[in-house]
């Protein structure tokens, strides 16, 4: 197992342009994950502070679906 890890962690060899493109793609993925993390964090904070209602429509029948999300946990302070 250790040999597999060592091999997978070695830098890829090849064309410098390919390495540059791979580096850009990894940075883009990292930025997207950071943005997603920010969105999820703000959503969780909002849910913890007050109820959240999500309304959507069923793609098959077209009926409206309402989802209520609430929490009984406290983010700030303790009892």
Q: For the chain, what are the domain ranges?
A: 15-69
Model pLDDT, residue 8: 54
Answer whether 26's CB lies under 8 Å from 43's CB. no
β-partners of residue 47 are: none
Answer whether 68's CB lies under 8 Å from 51's CB. yes
Q: Average pLDDT by consecutive 10-residue portion of the chain (79 residues)?
A: 53 78 94 88 75 84 86 58
> Taking the alpha carbons of 59, 62, 63, 65 in that order, is the dihedral positive or negative?
positive
């Amino acid at each position: 197992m250790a040999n597999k890890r060592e091999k997978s962690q070695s830098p890829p060899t090849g064309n410098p342009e390919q390495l540059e493109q791979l580096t850009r793609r990894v940075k883009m993925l990292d930025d997207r994950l950071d943005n997603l993390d920010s969105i999820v964090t703000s959503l969780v904070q909002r849910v913890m502070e007050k109820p959240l209602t999500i309304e959507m429509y069923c793609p098959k029948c077209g009926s409206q679906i309402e989802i209520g999300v609430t929490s009984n946990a406290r983010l700030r302070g303790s009892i």
